Amino acid sequence: MADAHEIEQQERVRQGDVLTVELTDIAFHGASIGRHDGQVVFADYGIPGETAEILIEKVKRSMLLARVAEPVEPSADRVDPPCPYFGICGGCQWQHIAYARQLELKAHVVAEQLRRIGNFDDAPVSPMIGCDRPYGYRNNARFTTSPDGELGYISRPGSGRQFMRIDRCLIMDDTINAALAEMQGRARVKHQVVVRHGEHTGDLLIQQDLSELVPSLPSGREHYEEELLGTRFRVSASSFFQTNTIQAEALARLAIERMALTGNEVVVDAYAGVGTFAALVAPHCRQV
């Protein structure tokens, strides 16, 4: 049962209410932060510094979850999202923010997490290195299927968690979007279809096996191959691998440069995953 505080809160603010709130900060999950009568508000699709009308989507004991319905005093960094699905699909959070400001906010989030969790009062966080291709970069897609063979995503919680057909995803690379177009309306299989593409190898992996439904595409493979900084990786359909190949290479180059390895060191990759960065560092040290 709800306690007295929660009942009182629900009497003051209800799901569906529209409030005017000043947004002052950004959370690590991408929502802007404000306050209403002392209550913390997390509002999707806002920008710190804005005053906005927000639609309450969920009332919780310790917070209000909302989305920006209309900026009252919009930020100069607010832009028109290029994707027609933005705000319904939950895949992207910041298409409404100019890319240069996105990078500033990401650096702020890192510094704030170091302060809150790591107790670093003044963490020296360098500026973010942006991607030359902020759209069309993603090498891994997981599409939900409908009974009639359509492919798409499930809409964000505030939009009812419904299946929504996607004909082109702007963050996916061109090869994945071409495969999506070829499969659209023909993928009559249960659950999901995974599409992964090797940026540097051209390899394409599609799971599930659609060979009878879409014979024009190579599907059913267990793995594909990709290269980072000249090192070749064999990646299975379910394995984690960096979704932005170009930025993964940029990060690896920077790490190797900053470590200034002489070839005699032992390097510990504490969060190795599939060993991507360990494999890239290995030629430059004695042992990983």
Per-residue pLDDT reduced to its tens digit, 120-178:
988 889 999 999 999 999 999 999 999 999 999 999 877 778 999 999 999 999 999 99
Q: Which residue has the tokens 């970069």?
A: 137
The reported pLDDT for the residue numbered 13 is 92
d(CA 278, CA 207): 27
pTM of the complete model: 0.89
The reported pLDDT for the residue numbered 12 is 82
The reported pLDDT for the residue numbered 60 is 92
| Domain spans in the chain, listed from the N-terminal domain onward | 4-73, 140-226
| Residue partners of 5: CB distance under 8 A and separation at least 6 | 61
The reported pLDDT for the residue numbered 6 is 54
- Beta strand extents in the chain (DSSP E only): 18-26, 32-36, 39-44, 51-59, 63-73, 140-145, 151-154, 163-165, 192-197, 204-207, 223-228, 231-236
CATH superfamily of 4-73: Nucleic acid-binding proteins (2.40.50.140)
The reported pLDDT for the residue numbered 4 is 57
**Weakly modelled stretches of the chain, pLDDT under 50:** 1, 10
Buried b (16+ CB within 10 A) or exposed e, 66-75: bbbbebeebb
